[in-house]
A and B are shown apart, each in its own frame.
Chain A
Amino acid sequence: MYSRAYKFVISVPPLLWVAAFLLVPYALMLAHSFWLVRDGLLVHQWNLQNYAKLFHNPVYFEVLFRSLRIAASVTFLSLLLGYPLAYYMSFHSGRRKEFLYQLVIIPLWVSYLVRGYAWKTILGSEGVLNGFLQYLHLTKEPVSFLLYSPFAVILMLTHIYTPFVFLPVYAALEHIPRNLVEASHDLGASPRTTFFRVILPLSLPGLFAGATFALVLSLGDFLAPMLVGGPSSIMIANIVQSLFGTAYDWPLGAAISVCILLLTVSLLFLTERLEQRWSFT
Chain B
Amino acid sequence: MIDTSEKVQRAPLLGLYALLVFGFLYLPIAVLILYSFNRSGVGGFPPKQFTLSWYGQLLGDRAIWDAVLNSLEVAGGTVVLSLTIGLLAALALDRLDFPGKAIFRRIVLLPLILPGIITGLSLLMFAVFCGIELSLLTVFLGHGTALISVATTEIFAGLQKMDRAQEEASLDLGATPWQTFWHITLPSLRLPLIAAGLLIFTLSMDEIAVTFFLIGRDNTLPLEIFARLRRGITPEINAISTIIFAVSVLLIVVWYQIRVRTVGQQAQELLERPSVSGG
Q: Spell out A's residues near B (CB within 8 Å).
A: 1-3, 5-7, 9-11, 13-15, 17-18, 21-26, 28-29, 32, 81-82, 84-85, 87-95, 97, 100, 102-115, 117-122, 124, 126-128, 130-132, 134-135, 159, 162-164, 167-168, 171-172, 174, 178, 205-206, 209, 212-213, 216-217, 219-223, 227, 237, 240-241, 244, 250, 253-254, 257, 260-261, 264, 268, 271-272, 275-276, 279
Contact A122 B28 (CB under 8 A): yes
Contact with A along B164-194 (1 / 0, CB 8 A): 0000100100001110010000000000000
Contact B117 A261 (CB under 8 A): no
Q: What separation, in Å, do the CA atoms of A14 and B83 have in the docked complex?
A: 11
Contact of A253 among B21, B121, B266 (CB under 8 A): B121
Q: A14-B85, A100-B18, A114-B241 are in contact. List 16 more A-B contacts (CB 8 A).
A: A10-B88, A10-B92, A14-B88, A22-B119, A81-B24, A107-B26, A111-B245, A120-B229, A128-B45, A168-B273, A209-B274, A216-B113, A220-B117, A241-B117, A268-B274, A275-B273
* Contacting residues, chain B, for A275 (C-beta < 8 A): 273, 279
Interface size on B, residues (CB 8 A): 97
Q: Spell out B's residues near A (CB within 8 Å).
A: 1-4, 6, 8-11, 14-15, 17-18, 21-22, 24-26, 28-29, 31-32, 35, 42-46, 85-86, 88-89, 91-92, 95-96, 98, 104, 107-108, 110-111, 113-119, 121-126, 129, 141, 145, 148, 168, 171, 176-178, 181, 199, 202-203, 206, 208-209, 212-213, 222, 225-226, 229, 233, 237-238, 241, 244-245, 248-249, 252-253, 256, 266, 268, 271-275, 277, 279
Contact A11 B145 (CB under 8 A): no
Contact of A254 among B10, B25, B125, B241 (CB under 8 A): B125
Contact B125 A32 (CB under 8 A): yes
* Contacting residues, chain B, for A128 (C-beta < 8 A): 31, 35, 42-45
Return B9 CB to nearest CB of chain A, in Å: 6
* Contacting residues, chain B, for A260 (C-beta < 8 A): 115, 117-118
Contact of B32 among A105, A121, A206 (CB under 8 A): A121
Contact B125 A121 (CB under 8 A): no
- Could you tell me the dominant secondary structure of chain B's interface residues? helix
Return A37 CB to nearest CB of chain B, in Å: 13
* Contacting residues, chain B, for A90 (C-beta < 8 A): 2
- Could you tell me the dominant secondary structure of chain A's interface residues? helix
Contact of B233 among A95, A124, A174, A206 (CB under 8 A): A124
* Contacting residues, chain B, for A134 (C-beta < 8 A): 45
Top 5 A-B pairs, shortest CB-CB distance? A220-B115, A131-B45, A25-B122, A118-B28, A14-B89
* Contacting residues, chain B, for A127 (C-beta < 8 A): 42-43
Contact B11 A88 (CB under 8 A): yes
* Contacting residues, chain A, for B119 (C-beta < 8 A): 22, 25
* Contacting residues, chain A, for B85 (C-beta < 8 A): 13-14, 17-18
Q: What separation, in Å, do the CA atoms of A9 and B107 have in the docked complex?
A: 20
Contact B121 A257 (CB under 8 A): yes
* Contacting residues, chain A, for B213 (C-beta < 8 A): 244
